Structure 1
Amino acid sequence: MMTLAAEIDHNGTSPEKLLAPVLSSFWDQPESWTLDTYRRHEGYEGLRKALAMAPDDLIAYVKDSGLRGRGGAGFPTGMKWQFIPQGDGKPHYLVVNADESEPGTCKDIPLLFANPHSLIEGIVIACYAIRSSHAFIYLRGEVVPVLRRLHEAVREAYEAGYLGTNILGSGLDLELTVHAGAGAYICGEETALLDSLEGRRGQPRLRPPFPAVAGLYACPTVVNNVESIASVPAILNKGKDWFKSMGSEKSPGFTLYSLSGHVTSPGQYEAPLGITLRQLLDMSGGMRAGHRLKFWTPGGSSTPMFTEEHLDVPLDYEGVGAAGSMLGTKALQCFDETTCVVRAVTRWTEFYAHESCGKCTPCREGTYWLVQLLRDIEAGKGEMADLDKLNDIADNINGKSFCALGDGAASPIFSSLKYFREEYEQHITGKGCPFDPARSTAWADDKNTDGKNAHRGVNA
């Protein structure tokens, strides 16, 4: 995991000045996940300050800090808490979405593995604010080591009086349940997660009603991402002005960027919102030796891809949006010139087709036919008319499916056709992938290659 970099970038600026290690500040210390280590780093001090405030004042404080949801949509966290109706006589619930499934995303799982108490402290603060006495963490069932470590952290918190009855003498009672999911991408969608948590098949619900009104067990519910909740204790402990001093005006604070792919030093880089991929690549050693960036995703495969021309786009919600994509989960997947765009998009689309819950027709049928067309094009069996078909099917999915999975499946189709239509055409005219000598007739005309990386310059 990369949280700090010791090198000096080409401008002579220390990379540490570009990073903001808060959640990841002591990941590299021995037994970072224990309560003792967390307390040594001002753990649970934010909770003490929160309990000294009135719940409504606490909500207003988090809202004023400008904290936005770190799960992908970027919705203001304090505003989401504010939506919970008070005095309704119903129990209120907090559900933490730890079902991290977006391809390329790797921030919540390392956070839970290395520093689970930051989440637990944030949960107690959030439950006090929304007047909840029961919270749930919905975790991916496959990550068993994280599940065990999280259970141990919850046990420590109960034993120390941070969970249970009359927490720190405040009168707050809180029960925390850790639930292991069964491994479905669709359960990352908040209403499908709620159905799964209730014991039903994970499928998105029709909205309205929204979870804030009728969520878990038809009661008012806040669903937040792990990183969103884990960021709250630091805001309470160090102050909202400290938090707003980082990032941009509309996207303040620090966040975890997952840098992966053909880079020299992949990992989690915690930095203020608004840093650029160029800066992150500078401090991570750049692309792998001898190669250059071809395309990348700013927020996982469900966000429209970017190219080399977008290296200086500020990685905050407004900057990425203005450039034509979405910040999403900040999963920066970087691909070099040896990567076939058609192959990459085909693999992503196969994933979305496989993970479609099948509830709505546009997504269920559309992703299936996208896969058929993409496989034909990749194998050299496609026709030029198929490119318009791809665009048409993606358009019939985008904005017309039950949840955002359909929109995510359409994103790589639209953006890859926008930036790399010529490469699609080469698959059709060359009767196969121009990056694979065994699958393309285009290789017969290449007399100046040793057969290893021929056509690497096709998209240069």
Structure 2
Amino acid sequence: MSTLTPVLTDIWDAEQSWKLATYADRGGYEALKTALTMAPDDIITAVKDSGLRGRGGAGFPTGMKWSFIPQDNPNPKYLVVNADESEPGTCKDIPLMMANPHVLVEGVIISSFAIRANQAFIYIRGEVLHVIRRVQAAVAEAYAAGHLGRDIHGSGYDLDIVVHAGAGAYICGEETALLEGLEGRRGQPRLRPPFPAVAGLYASPTVINNVESIASVPSIIGNGAEWFASMGTEKSKGFGIFSLSGHVTTPGQYEAPLGITLRELIDLAGGMREGHELKFWTPGGSSTPLLTAEHLDVPLDFEGVGAAGSMLGTRALQLFDETTCVVRAVLRWTEFYKHESCGKCTPCREGTWWLVQTLANLEKGIGQESDLDLLLDQCDNILGRSFCALGDGATSPISSSIQYFRQEYLDHLTQGGCPFDPMKATLFADELEMA
């Protein structure tokens, strides 16, 4: 097996890769025809056997989530695709929908058939209008080809897909806030239980999956569960899209088996930018605890990254070299979380505001060493106490950066500001020389 395993990205270099004709030439919608000859429960079993875990960050087994849908519930069943990709650093679902929307559409049809849903929704972040239009066009092509609508390919199965444009809120990436948005209300998380599998969209049984999770389904049905499970690690099966951004020579999307290391990915990307070295990085977006160069050989799977003290998340690998001020980077992320807090719960609404105030002072060199303990205490008062995971995510880069770069925080205080600011650095050097 080669280091890279292009499956979802295999078609990206084709001319007009987003068109149905191009997708069909590469075997597109053949898996759908296979699925329609199978019993829905057999499809769920195949996805379970493949070991596919949610690609949206949590890593929950996809087939198991589908099996939670109570089939004896008389209400309609719904499939909702979470395409509200807005985590800082995360950039895999949007290029996937742009370059290969039909693999998502085919995945939606197969997944809906498996859970016995006749209505599916693709919830896309409202700012990416070009993506919304492309997915809408793909859905229209699928209808025209008979892959959607009434009595699909004579199977007796009916399915309609709605492409829904969100209003542009990071919180709607949280699955229950997404449901609130779909129902026309303000995007805020719901209290659970009941869980979406029992009472989700319109109080009916609902499966909510990430774009990449659903897009992986056709390859599992087409090639078999054993084929998918042959890649990755023992507990983290299959392949995934790793998004490399930041101070790397060739940033971009690298589709590889789970368990690959950052060192291998950096080599594939041509190394760090010339003359510089890795200082810190995020394994799964800005809401995951950051890691350092000492973690270059950590397997990028759910267990390996977890053992290193972080989370695999969305595999948004943001790489920063030694020229980056970690305090300033963490402050920028925290400002994002403060802005995107829905305000529903006090720990997140008030806590993220106080985190920004404390971090901003430290970045300016205002305060004292005890303020670091105050900052950690603020994080402790948010972690595990907010209504959803947004508050928890806001604390991750702060606590981990203090763990690995405490001295850099102290340097801001002793130097009266950011030592990475050229003007500050010059003034500090002059002061040392005069002393």
Maintained 8 Å contact 2:46/2:224: no
- Match for 1:208: what amino acid? P
| Aligned equivalent of 2:173 | 188
Alignment match, 1:90: 75
Once the 2 structures are TM-superposed, how far is the Cα of residue 446 of structure 1 from its aligned partner? 5.8
- Contact 1:158–1:164 (8 Å) recurs in 2: yes
The alignment status of 1:41 with 2:26, answered yes or no, reads yes
Residue 414 of structure 1 corresponds to which residue in structure 2?
399
| Inter-partner Cα distance in structure 2 for 1:218 and 1:358 | 24
Q: Quick one: which of 276, 287, 301 aligns to 1:316?
A: 301
Taking the aligned partners of 1:369 and 1:435, their CA distance within structure 2 comes to 24
Q: Is the 8 A contact 1:66 1:252 kept in 2?
A: yes
* Aligned position for 1:335: 320
Which residue is equivalent to 2:9?
24
Corresponding residue SS for 1:217: helix
Q: What is the CA–CA distance in structure 2 between the aligned matches of 1:168 and 1:127, rounded to whole Å?
A: 15
**Residue number among 365, 372, 396 corresponding to 2:357 in the alignment:** 372
The question of 1:273 aligning with 2:258 is answered yes
> Could you tell me which amino acid in structure 2 is paired with residue 176 of structure 1?
I
Structural mapping, 1:4-19, within 5 Å: 17-19=2-4
1:115 corresponds to which of 85, 96, 100: 100
Render the CA deviation track for 1:100-151: whole Å, top value 9, x for unaligned. Answer: 0000000000000000000000001111111100000000111111111111
In the alignment, structure 1 residue 150 sits paired with structure 2 residue 135: yes
Residues 217-241 of structure 1 deviation map (CA, whole Å, 9 limit, x = unaligned): 1100000000000000001001111
Distance in 2 (CA, whole Å) between partners of 1:419 and 1:328 is 20
Partner in structure 2 of residue 442 of structure 1: 428
Alpha-carbon deviation of 1:52? Answer: 1.2
What's the counterpart of residue 125 of structure 1?
110
Q: Is the Cα–Cα contact under 8 Å of residues 380 and 439 in structure 1 kept in the other structure?
A: no
Counterpart selection for 2:202 from 193, 197, 217: 217
State the partner residue of 1:425. Answer: 410
Q: Does residue 72 of the first structure (1) align with residue 52 of the second (2)?
A: no
> 1-side partners of 2:429 and 2:44: how far apart?
63
Query: What is residue 264 of structure 1 aligned with on the other side?
Result: 249
* Alpha-carbon contact 2:49-2:226 (below 8 Å) kept: no
Contact 2:386 2:392 in 1 (8 A): yes
Aligned ranges 1:289-368 → 2 under 5 Å: 289-368=274-353
1:237 corresponds to 2:222: yes
- CA shift at 1:49, angstroms? 1.3
- How far, CA to CA, are the matches of 2:313 and 2:119 in structure 1? 28
The two structures have a TM-score, normalised by structure 2, of 0.98
**CA deviation after TM superposition for structure 1 residue 436, in Å:** 1.1
Shift of 1:444: 2.7
**What is the distance in 2 between the residues matched to 1:445 and 1:238?**
67
Quote the offset at 1:430 in angstroms. 1.2
The equivalent residue for 1:456 is: none
Q: CA 1:446/1:150 → structure 2, altered by over 3 Å: closer, same or farther?
A: farther
The reply to whether residue 170 of structure 1 matches residue 170 of structure 2 is no
**More deviation, 180-189/429-438:** 429-438
Report the TM-score when normalising by structure 1.
0.93
SS in 2 for 1:179: strand
**What are the superposed Cα offsets for residues 30-65 of structure 1, whole Å, 9 maximum, x if unpaired?**
000000110111111111111111111111111111
Deviation, structure 1 residue 391:
0.2
Could you tell me how far apart the structure 2 residues matched to 1:427 and 1:250 are?
42
Cα displacement string for residues 10-29 of structure 1 (whole angstroms, at most 9, x for unaligned residues): xxxxxx92000000001011
Contact 1:352 1:405 in 2 (8 A): yes
Q: Partner letter of residue 267 of structure 1?
A: G
1:297-332 CA distances to partner (integer Å, 9 max, x unpaired)? 000000000000000000000110011100000000
Unaligned runs of 5+ in 2: none
SS across alignment from 2:279: strand
CA distance in 2, matches of 1:48, 1:99: 29
Contiguous gaps of at least 5 residues in structure 1: 1-15, 448-460
- Take 1:104 and 1:443, find their aligned partners in 2: how far apart are those partners? 34
Aligned residue-pair number: 432
1:89 and 1:17 map into 2 onto residues whose CA distance is: 47
Counterpart Cα distance in 2 of 1:414 and 1:396: 12
Q: Which moved more, 1:46-55 or 1:120-129?
A: 46-55
Residue 381 (structure 1) shift: 1.0
Q: Look up the SS of the partner of 1:17 in the other structure.
A: coil
**Matched residue, 2:119:** 134
Return the alpha-carbon distance in structure 2 between the equivalents of residues 395 and 167 of structure 1: 53
Shift of 1:293: 0.2
Q: Which residue of 2 aligns with 1:457?
A: none
Tell me by how many angstroms 1:445 deviates.
Answer: 4.2
CA distance in 2, matches of 1:26, 1:131: 29
1:437 and 1:286 mapped to 2: Cα distance?
A: 26
Across the aligned residues of Structure 1 and Structure 2, the Cα RMSD in angstroms comes to 1.0
Tell me, in whole angstroms, the C-alpha distance in 1 between the residues paired with 2:90 and 2:398: 20
DSSP-derived class of the 2:233 partner:
coil
Q: Give, in whole Å, the separation in 2 of the partners of 1:438 and 1:446.
A: 14
Q: Equivalent residue of 1:348, what SS?
A: helix
CA distance in 1, matches of 2:71, 2:259: 36
Amino acid across the alignment from 2:38: M
Q: Is the 8 A contact 1:379 1:439 kept in 2?
A: no
Distance 2:212 2:116 in 1: 21
Counterpart CA distance in 2 for 1:399 and 1:277 is 29
Q: 2 CA distance for matches of 1:194 and 1:439? A: 48
In the alignment, what sits opposite 1:3?
none
Partner Cα separation in structure 1 for residue 430 and residue 52 of structure 2 = 56
